[in-house]
Amino acid sequence: MIKHIVLPLGICVLFASSLLSGCVVQQKGSTLLSIVSFGVDKATINQGQTANLSWTVLGATTVSIDHGIGTVALTGTRTVAPTTNTTYTLTAINGTATQTATVTVIVNTS
């Protein structure tokens, strides 16, 4: 009875692992590029207030944030004081691979 259960189970595990092994493509010698997180502590602020962007990136050779922030470290925080609603885009690059993530800060002007 156990042989009848173990063999099909083993075949299923082997088949599933062969399918999943093709899910991640990585060039030999390169590090997998991943934006682990990109967020803001306050998505809505009043005009004149600040918000803190924070991010964690793995495997990038260059990380930057638009709206005048520029090149940043793989992990960090930055205080921003937008005067209007602003969407910040983080761009992570490793060789020919590029990933982006965005966060928006809404500014109450009334």
Q: List, in order, residues 6 or more apart from 41 with CB less than 8 Å away.
A: 51, 52, 54
Q: Is the pLDDT at 100 greater than 60, yes or no?
A: yes
Domains of the chain: 27-108 (2.60.40.10)
- pTM of structure: 0.72
Quick: pLDDT tens for 12-70.
433 444 333 333 444 455 569 999 999 999 999 999 999 999 999 999 999 999 999 99
Q: Which of 7-16, 46-55, 76-85, 92-101 has the lowest mean pLDDT?
A: 7-16
Q: d(Cα 107, Cα 45) in Å, to the nearest integer? A: 5
> What's residue 110's pLDDT?
81
Q: Which of 72, 77, 78 is nearest to 92 (CA)?
A: 72
Q: d(Cα 89, Cα 107) in Å, to the nearest integer? A: 17
CA gyration radius for the chain?
21
